[in-house]
Structure 1
Amino acid sequence: MADYILQAEGLTKQFSGFTAVSDVSLSLERGTIHALIGPNGAGKTTCFNLLTKFLKPSAGEIRLNGRDITGLSPDAVARLGMVRSFQISAVFPQLTVLENVRLAVQRRRGGSFDFWRSKGVLRDLEPRALELVEAVGLEDVADVTAEALSYGRKRALELATTLALDPEIMLLDEPMAGMGHEDIGRITNLIRTAAQGRTVLLVEHNLGVVANLCDRITVLMRGEVLAEGDYATVSKDPRVIEAYIGSAGHA
């Protein structure tokens, strides 16, 4: 019997009479990498924001490890071990790579950010912060401010700060958006490494990345689940082919 970490049933979101997501049911098996894909306007971002509690559903239920989290806030869900990233890199530009990661490590402790504490206290956090910096391949720029990093390296830094929270499940919103070819392979490998011992849900437009990285895929179309399965299955589904080719044809 499958062990599901995150489940949604009948998820629906309406905006002033417009239904952006309609009766979506989704189950993420623990320890897998699951993709949410679909053509533009399919409802992926709305569904993602519902799952991460940045939007309140009009109907439906969301469960994390069997617990109903439908009415919880994003920060409450994060404390339960579900952490998300954003399409736009969310780092502190004036802080160094190491300082960004160290702040995230401090947040994981569950207390304040310790701005008034001694440098000795902060230094105690550096071994873990350095470990994470090295894990995403940024050790050579640990003392460089985030604003000076390339786009791909900023996304790697964001992944390090996400991992600093030690999430049980990570939800990544278009992690390859805006990246050049040279960065895509590196970030794909980082996500694969980060997923060890965790569950990952990602929204992604790059179907090559999805094929290479994901165990299971849910395809949305007009706010509804169109197909679900591994890449070999969904890529051959006539409805999925029509959704993508038809979308491209009307662009």
Structure 2
Amino acid sequence: MSQLPNSHYILETRNLVKSFGSFVAVNGLSLRVRPGTIHSLIGPNGAGKTTAFNLLTRFLQPTSGQIFYKGQDITHFGSARIAQHGMVRSFQISAVFAHMSAHENVLVALQRKKRCVYKFWLSESILKPLHEHADRLLDSVGLLADRGTLAGQLSYGRRRALEIATTLALEPEVMLLDEPTAGMGHEDVGRIADLIKSASAGRTTLMVEHNLSVVADLSDSITVLSRGQIVAEGSYAEVSGNPDVMSIYLGTTDV
């Protein structure tokens, strides 16, 4: 009989493997994420981080292994069912509707949460609470002044902020962020890091992030991957001082 998932973890994988032919992208991943924490997944390019995210959110089918969410085996759930259960992902490349305003983008997400088709012509009595909720979400990410601006006209950093607002509109219990600060300047990185911290209050965040300064500032726990395997776990102080991690990032040995 297989061992039950640990009730102390909101998200857990058991010996997760993903192979593409002879190439093993994720090799025996046993990840454990505690509820209410910010947990970062880091590693060099090609370490398997995004593949792991694709497995967790069911955009990829694992070759073997299991995924548990709140104690339930979700290994064979579809991606839509995963989101309905409260695990919502944002992507490395901003995924917003460029030809819709910031406000309309959030309205789409709010109506999706209510499982109804987005319609501009719903009665005012129905739309008013949604408009107000959308404005509160935009305000929470510093975009209320840009509510009427087309998403495609926003700066890259502001589009990522909008994506966080649309993610929050889905009321996730677990928020998965894939490289949220990729391609940003210093000022935008600081703004998005602050948004992630505030958005993570009262929920669990699993984050793939390349900016180690952001990882150090935000993370409660860190998992380091290399070649699809975990090489270290713990706080930033613990993993940054780990000889295997130092060799991966500094190239002191062949790991």
> TM-score, structure 2 length as denominator?
0.94
CA distance in 1 between counterparts of 2:7 and 2:114 reads 32
Query: What is aligned with 1:41?
Result: 46
Query: What is aligned with 1:189?
Result: 194
CA distance in 2 between counterparts of 1:95 and 1:233 reads 45
Identity of aligned residues (%): 55
Tell me, yes or no, if the aligned pair for 1:2 and 1:29 is still in contact at 8 Å.
Answer: no
The 5 Å alignment of 1:133-144 reads 133-144=138-149
Query: Deviations along 1:198-226, whole A, 9 cap, x unmatched?
Result: 00000000000000010000000111000
Segments ≥4 residues shifted beyond 6 Å: none
> What letter corresponds to residue 123 of structure 1 in structure 2?
K
Correspondence 1:56 to 2:61: yes
The 5 Å alignment of 1:172-187 reads 172-187=177-192
Q: Greater CA deviation, 113-122 or 235-244?
A: 113-122
Q: Greater CA deviation, 118-127 or 148-157?
A: 118-127
Tell me, yes or no, if the aligned pair for 2:7 and 2:70 is still in contact at 8 Å.
Answer: no
Once superposed, what is the RMSD of the aligned Cα atoms? 1.6
Query: What is aligned with 1:211?
Result: 216
CA distance in 2 between counterparts of 1:226 and 1:2 reads 24
Correspondence 1:244 to 2:228: no
Query: What is aligned with 2:169?
Result: 164
Q: Which runs of 5+ in 2 are unaligned?
A: 1-5
Tell me, yes or no, if the aligned pair for 1:31 and 1:198 is still in contact at 8 Å.
Answer: yes
Offset of residue 123 of structure 1: 2.8
Query: Deviations along 1:39-92, whole A, 9 cap, x unmatched?
Result: 111111111111111110001000111111000111100000000000110111
Among 4, 11, 33, the residue aligned to 2:16: 11
> What letter corresponds to residue 42 of structure 1 in structure 2?
A
CA distance in 1 between counterparts of 2:11 and 2:234 reads 17
SS for the counterpart of 1:4 is: coil
Among 231, 236, 246, the residue aligned to 2:236: 231
Query: What is aligned with 2:151?
Result: 146
> TM-score, structure 1 length as denominator?
0.96
CA gap of 1:158–1:28, structure 2 versus 1, over 3 A, is: same
> What letter corresponds to residue 155 of structure 2 in structure 1?
S
> What letter corresponds to residue 218 of structure 1 in structure 2?
T
SS for the counterpart of 1:125 is: helix
CA distance in 2 between counterparts of 1:44 and 1:103 reads 29
CA distance in 2 between counterparts of 1:19 and 1:92 reads 34
SS for the counterpart of 1:90 is: coil
CA distance in 2 between counterparts of 1:125 and 1:211 reads 36
> What letter corresponds to residue 228 of structure 1 in structure 2?
E
SS for the counterpart of 2:26 is: strand
Among 171, 196, 220, the residue aligned to 2:225: 220
